Structure 1
Amino acid sequence: MDLLRALGRRAWTEAEYLRWCAAAGLVGPRSAGAVPAAAGALFRYGSLVAALSFSAQRCGGRAALIDESGALSYTEVDDRSTRLANEWRKRGLRAGETVALLVRNHRGLFDALFAAAKCGTRILLLNPDFTGPRLSEVAVRERVDLLVYDQEFESALGTLSPRRGAYRAWTESPQLRSLETLIAAGSSEPLPVPAELARVVLPDGSIAAGAQAWSLQPVGALLSRVPLRAREVTECPVPLFHSLGFAMALLSVGLGSTLVIRRRFEPRRVLESMARNRATALIVAPVMLSRLTDLDPLSFAERDLSALRVALVGGSRLGGELCRRTAHRLGPVLYHVYGSTAAGCVAVATPADLAAEPRCAGRPLAGTVVRIADESGAALPVGETGRILAGNTVPAGADRLVPTGDLGRFDAAGRLFVAGRAGGPTGSGNTVVSEDSRR
């Protein structure tokens, strides 16, 4: 009987996620023809390649990304990663080995990410601050077999020499060991099915993709609160090695939207790009949003930002003053994501939530259970502060909640407030954006 209830709850929850995905244009009649290829890619190569295959099939000529070198279509991203994967396989790379990426936001990251996924490797995203002795330490500990790096980090590699090679991604002088050279030489023939599915590991050690049971939860839950839509334009200055940036980049790929990225955050360039590309969504950390809205009012008045519907913020808590300044500069478009490494995305504060209570973390996502508990795990009443426990009904079940590491409370309207770290200094359970991303 318990099993039947669990299966029924799973079916109902997945149906709700499907409904939100359909409302966003992710699934529907226009996508039906792409489903078989995406399903095949899902079982052969995993969720990363399936997302790319899905969008390459239904909107192949649309720009998948725009960086400082220009635009690449979904068809081009798919083809480039296949060619690179074939070249890596010729050089000995095999499923289960580790590919490390020490790169900033640009096309090389996508080339390497999807190529490594097509090879079935373990993909390790490195923080660009991991240089010098620390980089060598991480490479040895994680048993890195192949390294992709930007030219600016070459001096920090030292004697590091992975057995499958080290290849330049962003470089001012293409050479034999650059990604572009390998892509130009590579075959576009489909790759053999790898013995393992790819996994993506973030700098904090958490698994970003490839470890969970199949579910629409990661996408459907967020879309239940944030009105992102298919085939739009997302401006994403957040570093893609960061959990927020990585998650939103993959969501953009799945939606068939255009992701606009650049190697370094410069507020005025971001504002200009938003207007030029008619961005409908902006993904930022609070420190970035603060620097952006600090620009003079004339900068906003001179640019048409009317397409913007979502400014999604995560990484640390917002202050009331920043919420008000954002509303004044950009309009009622601010959405704040709260979550943790262990629990994933837990709650989202909408513009209405932030207008009523700028300090709140929002309301739990669809299919997410949040409990305020005492030290014994017993639930506390509304208004009382305790440990924040959270979990998704899929796949773990609502009875398996994990601590986010924060203290918090609910108000009478059902909004979550974060009071500080559990047993530590005040702060959010989110991963704090690195200093590197602020430059």
Structure 2
Amino acid sequence: MPVDIALIHPERLALIDDLGTTVTFAELLDRATRLGRAMHAAGVPAGGHVGTLTENRAEFFELYLASMLSGIWLVPINGLLAPSEVTYVARDADLAMIFAEDELASLAPDDITTICFGEPYETMITEGDPTPFALDAPAGSRFSYTSGTTGHPKGVKRSIPAALDEMLAVQRSAGHDVAMTGEGIHLVTGPAYHAAVGGFAFFDLCNGATLRIMRKFDAARTLELIEQEQVRRTHLVPTMMVRMLRLNESARLRDLSSLDIVLHGAAPIAPAVKRQMIDWLGPILVEYWGTSEAGVFTRVDSADWLAHPGTVGRPVPGFEVFAVDDTGATLPPGEVGRLFCHTPNKPEPFAYWNAPEKTASSYLRPGVFTLGDMGHVDDEGWIFLADRATNMIITGGVNVYPAEVEQALLEHPAVLDAAVFGIPDEEWGEKVKAAVEFATGETVADTELIDFARERLGRHKVPRSIDVHESLPRQPNGKLYLSSLRDPYWEGHDRKI
């Protein structure tokens, strides 16, 4: 854990960012301790809430550790949210203060204390008490808000151990569950405010890794940094992988042999894309299935994925996964239903903030919950996702899972990105609609793509029509703003499904 590393290897680098900041483990522990004490002195109690509005930088991880040490809950706010959404999150979470970049500080509500990085932040640290926090004191954690692709973002808190030493130990063990074991350099490519990106990086940090923090993702620069800084581990989303694969030969001609692990999840990946990545990098991809609400449920390495293409793995320690039908009865192997996870030692592993009814609706019984994913478990215990229940298209009474159609379209070499959704149809109820983004310099007729899909999918799954977009509306974490594509087709209709 950072406390031990700071004592044993005080000069080891903990954080390096694109702004030129470098922080050793000794400095990280001292700065995080002072910052935690300063938040208490400013009136934020243990159990209180503070927010961040920032792009990737070293200070984010200082705040992450400071909050954990001081028993405070940290709410990372997506700087891409509209001002009204930022205000909603700040009010809903009852934030006592917000730490922000100068460029994003204007998004914070005027009546909440806002500390900008730079002189105000550094003064707060300098004036903070350096007295270490007791390891049996209450721990803090991350308090996440969902991406808010529909409606208001929703806050969620995970259950955490009562004491700080137990909480730090959980970070280390969770890191080992997903191969974030602390050796060498971990490259942070995506937005750290995202629960997976920031969380996995923090796990690796707690196990001793140096975090090399990219300000923003760039495919060519990612490869350059891996080669130059001998990166051992990183996290990528499928959109990033596609962009890396589409780089020209000279940009891809890098020595990437230092990489041990490429962790990926957060969005579905086309099997063809994953095979290309494994062919390029070797069998170092580790896929997971999880959510902001409850963490990681499954994992699968490259060898097992190649033997079971499309799987998201088997459960990690502490979880069981099974599919149920509409009555709540457990389904036999191979049948698609709503996936539930069981954590035997945690009756309520997460709860939505100020939303007891939503929390209750997620649980089948104590310790058994769903986040709405559909899929099946095969007879060997491998788990396969179909789609989110809320994304499912019902056409002529038959269920179509968009992710399957998207993956078929992504196999076409001209398609860089794809989204599939249902639109109203008088005869069929809904019909399958696709939206695609072409790779640079590529274009094909929609009839060609439809024929391409027809060769790979059942007739009812094939898109009836395809829209072409210059770029699809994705968040930096890879998730799609589906409503902006889908909703215009449902205007004037009294239903949305």
Q: TM-score, normalised by structure 1?
A: 0.76
More displaced, 64-73 or 310-319?
64-73
Match of 1:344 among 292, 295, 308: 295
The answer for the alignment partner of 1:63 in structure 2 is: 13
Alpha carbons of structure 1 residues 70 and 427: separation in structure 2 relative to 1, 3 Å: farther
**Deviation, structure 1 residue 191:** 5.3
The answer for the alignment partner of 1:435 in structure 2 is: 475
Structure 1 position 198 matched with structure 2 position 140: yes
For 1:54 and 1:427, the matched residues in 2 are separated by 47
- Would the aligned equivalents of 1:343 and 1:403 in 2 still touch at CA under 8 Å? no
Question: What CA deviation, in whole Å up to 9, does each residue of 1:22-42 have, x standing for no partner?
Answer: xxxxxxxxxxxxxxxxxxxxx
Secondary structure of the residue aligned to 1:332 is coil
**Deviation, structure 1 residue 221:** 6.2
Match of 1:223 among 176, 199, 209: 176
The answer for the alignment partner of 1:48 in structure 2 is: none
For 1:427 and 1:95, the matched residues in 2 are separated by 44
The answer for the alignment partner of 1:91 in structure 2 is: 42
**Deviation, structure 1 residue 230:** 3.0
Give runs of aligned pairs for residues 376-391 of structure 1, distance below 5 A. 376-391=327-342
**Deviation, structure 1 residue 244:** 0.8
The answer for the alignment partner of 2:230 in structure 1 is: 278
**Deviation, structure 1 residue 200:** 1.9
The answer for the alignment partner of 2:210 in structure 1 is: 258
- Would the aligned equivalents of 1:343 and 1:402 in 2 still touch at CA under 8 Å? no
Match of 1:362 among 296, 313, 329: 313
**Deviation, structure 1 residue 252:** 1.0
**Deviation, structure 1 residue 80:** 1.3
**Deviation, structure 1 residue 419:** 1.3
Structure 1 position 335 matched with structure 2 position 286: yes
**Deviation, structure 1 residue 130:** 3.0
The answer for the alignment partner of 2:90 in structure 1 is: 139
Greater relative contact order, per chain length (Cα 8 Å cut-off, separation 6+): 1
The answer for the alignment partner of 1:54 in structure 2 is: 4
For 2:107 and 2:46, the matched residues in 1 are separated by 28
The answer for the alignment partner of 1:8 in structure 2 is: none
Question: What CA deviation, in whole Å up to 9, does each residue of 1:289-333 have, x standing for no partner?
Answer: 2212222233332x2211111110010111112112212321211
Alpha carbons of structure 1 residues 317 and 156: separation in structure 2 relative to 1, 3 Å: same
Secondary structure of the residue aligned to 2:79 is coil
For 1:228 and 1:192, the matched residues in 2 are separated by 26
Match of 2:373 among 406, 414, 417: 406
The answer for the alignment partner of 1:242 in structure 2 is: 194
For 2:238 and 2:58, the matched residues in 1 are separated by 25
Q: TM-score, normalised by structure 2?
A: 0.68
**Deviation, structure 1 residue 267:** 1.4
**Deviation, structure 1 residue 367:** 3.2
For 1:134 and 1:222, the matched residues in 2 are separated by 32
The answer for the alignment partner of 1:287 in structure 2 is: 239
- Would the aligned equivalents of 2:194 and 2:477 in 1 still touch at CA under 8 Å? no
**Deviation, structure 1 residue 222:** 6.1
For 2:55 and 2:245, the matched residues in 1 are separated by 24
Secondary structure of the residue aligned to 2:189 is coil
- Would the aligned equivalents of 1:237 and 1:283 in 2 still touch at CA under 8 Å? yes
For 2:104 and 2:259, the matched residues in 1 are separated by 35
- Would the aligned equivalents of 2:232 and 2:261 in 1 still touch at CA under 8 Å? yes
For 2:39 and 2:304, the matched residues in 1 are separated by 49
For 2:289 and 2:402, the matched residues in 1 are separated by 12
The answer for the alignment partner of 1:420 in structure 2 is: 387
The answer for the alignment partner of 1:374 in structure 2 is: 325
Larger relative strand fraction: 2
Question: What CA deviation, in whole Å up to 9, does each residue of 1:408-431 have, x standing for no partner?
Answer: 112344321111223542468xxx
Question: What CA deviation, in whole Å up to 9, does each residue of 1:309-359 have, x standing for no partner?
Answer: 111001011111211221232121111111234553111121013323432
Secondary structure of the residue aligned to 1:435 is coil
For 2:162 and 2:310, the matched residues in 1 are separated by 32
The answer for the alignment partner of 2:70 in structure 1 is: 119
Alpha carbons of structure 1 residues 212 and 389: separation in structure 2 relative to 1, 3 Å: farther
Match of 2:53 among 81, 86, 102: 102
Secondary structure of the residue aligned to 1:321 is helix
**Deviation, structure 1 residue 241:** 1.6
**Deviation, structure 1 residue 146:** 0.9
Structure with bigger gyration radius: 2
Structure 1 position 181 matched with structure 2 position 133: no
The answer for the alignment partner of 1:297 in structure 2 is: 249
For 2:331 and 2:134, the matched residues in 1 are separated by 53
For 1:317 and 1:402, the matched residues in 2 are separated by 21
For 1:160 and 1:381, the matched residues in 2 are separated by 55
CA RMSD in angstroms, aligned pairs only: 3.0
Kindly tell me the number of residue pairs found equivalent between the two proteins.
Answer: 374
The answer for the alignment partner of 2:101 in structure 1 is: 150
For 1:354 and 1:184, the matched residues in 2 are separated by 49
Secondary structure of the residue aligned to 1:113 is helix
For 1:111 and 1:244, the matched residues in 2 are separated by 17
For 1:335 and 1:138, the matched residues in 2 are separated by 33
Secondary structure of the residue aligned to 1:101 is strand
For 1:357 and 1:74, the matched residues in 2 are separated by 41
- Would the aligned equivalents of 1:100 and 1:124 in 2 still touch at CA under 8 Å? yes
Query: Which residue identity lines up with residue 107 of structure 1 in the other structure?
Result: A
More displaced, 184-193 or 124-133?
184-193
The answer for the alignment partner of 1:168 in structure 2 is: 116
Query: Which residue identity lines up with residue 383 of structure 2 in the other structure?
Result: L
Query: Which residue identity lines up with residue 16 of structure 2 in the other structure?
Result: I
